[in-house]
Structure 1
Amino acid sequence: MDLRSFIIPAIDIKEGKVVRLYRGSFESVKEYPLHPEEVAKLFNEIGFKRLHVVDLDGSLEGMPKNIEAIKKIRKVFSGQIQVGGGIRSLEVCQVLDDEGIDLFVAGTVALREPSIFKSIVEAFPDRIILSVDAKRGKVAVSGWQEESSLGPEELALKFENLHIWGYLYTNIEKDGSLEGVDVDIYLKFKKFVKKPLLASGGVSSLEDVKRLYGVVEGVIVGKAIYEGKLNIKEI
């Protein structure tokens, strides 16, 4: 297995800096002394095929706020880049498309303004990843600050017949915790959908990654890399 295709390293950006949240809390931000483009360059040198970039300021404010950092990442990373955080309009997707971003991760707009989400999908077929962010069994939106009444599968099924790329399911209660992954939630979700699924939340080791191999089509890994729990150079 080539884990460089299966693992999708995450670069979370807040005010131009690389950070990680703990269980989605903006009160628990850990900042790393790294520039986003430096990290992206390292991931490129190792041979990862895709990057997951999150504009955390954008997720709170409803539109991307770290475009300059995203531009620098695009210049040094040759593989695919998917960007999330504030992707809530066609105009934002067009701006990112102009910068060479391959895939757009959107969740809040799908829940709150499904007609706009559908228009985005029509404009960028097979390039939109529906972000399904779950906390206590319900979908959370607006940078995970607000919980909805919908379950993850309910949200996914609303858009399964559209030309989306697939889904990114984040287990918020595990995110940034290094507590290990919950494989069962992805197995359950897979029973409802046919499109590709990416997993996120709780990865603490290479063993966690291997447990997800064959269950999902890719896994987002952030804190485990930055804290040295998963040695990417060995991959």
Structure 2
Amino acid sequence: MEVIPAIDLLDGQCVRLYQGDYQRSEVFGENPVEMARRWEGEGATRLHLVDLDGAKQGKPANHSAIASIVKAVSIPVQVGGGLRDRAGIAQLLNLGVQRAIVGTIAVENPELVEELCQEFPDQIVVGIDARNGQVATRGWLETSQVSAIELAKKMEDIGAAAIIYTDIHRDGTLAGPNLEALRELSRAIALPIIASGGVSSLTDLLSLLALESQGVCGAIVGRALYTGDIDLAEAVRAVGQGRWQDVPPDSGFSTFA
């Protein structure tokens, strides 16, 4: 299973929000590039960047920081936040970002997501951010009437590369991942699932590792890395860095690497 450090960008700084609340942000670093290099040096094989300004504004806002990070590291970078049209996504991928994460448009414009999946195969990942089982959109500021499982099934049908599932009530809280929701989601779809939200300890990562055979192939870790509750190098050694291209073809879910 892949342990994926999160770098959340707000006003050019590395921050963490509490349950997605922009008013409850905490700065953990003023140099995102330095942070990216640190995580790569400690064994990360992928970075997860979130453009929080972009998520709020509805268009990418941290291109400079993202481009600098992509140039500074040799590992793949995936980015989400404010990606709501083709131009913004194409621009991001042209920077060298490996995969673009869409969320709001998966709910509001699934036809566009289908077109993007066809144009950029294996590069479009759908972020499903759930609040009480319902999908939140527009930087988590709004909650839709669409269930997380319903959206995941639809995105699987139109060719998404993977699903990143975030339980908003767990995000930034160090309360542990929502294992039951992940199990339910893994039973509903055959796509690779990346867990996000609430991972607070090595024990949490080992709990997620137990779901790897069901399709939970990665875990995004944020606050716990910055507070020191999780040591990335130790986590990498403990759970391994399973690569999605190594998944056996008869395992029941697609590869994501």
TM-score, normalised to structure 2, is: 0.87
Partner SS for 2:157? coil
Work out whether 1:190 is the aligned partner of 2:186. yes
Aligned partner of 2:137 in structure 1 is 141
Q: Deviations over 1:146-169 (max 9, x none)?
A: 000111001111121222111000
Q: Between 26-35 and 169-178, report the one with greater CA deviation.
A: 26-35
Partner SS for 2:234? coil
Aligned partner of 1:25 in structure 2 is 21
Q: Distance in 1 between matches of 2:164 and 2:102?
A: 9
Q: Deviations over 1:30-64 (max 9, x none)?
A: 11233110010111112211100000000011111
**Matches for 1:42-191 after TM superposition, within 5 Å:** 42-191=38-187
Cα distance, 1:186 vs structure 2? 0.3
Aligned partner of 2:246 in structure 1 is none
Cα distance, 1:130 vs structure 2? 0.8
Q: Distance in 2 between matches of 1:158 and 1:42?
A: 37
Q: Between 12-21 and 28-37, report the one with greater CA deviation.
A: 28-37
Q: Deviations over 1:182-208 (max 9, x none)?
A: 211100001110010000011110110
Work out whether 1:220 is the aligned partner of 2:240. no
Cα distance, 1:234 vs structure 2? 3.1
Partner SS for 2:87? helix
Q: Distance in 1 between matches of 2:188 and 2:139?
A: 25
Q: Distance in 2 between matches of 1:112 and 1:213?
A: 33
Gap regions ≥5 residues in structure 2: 236-257
Runs of 4+ in 1 over 6 A off after TM superposition: none
Aligned residues: 231
Gap regions ≥5 residues in structure 1: none
Aligned partner of 2:249 in structure 1 is none
Work out whether 1:206 is the aligned partner of 2:202. yes
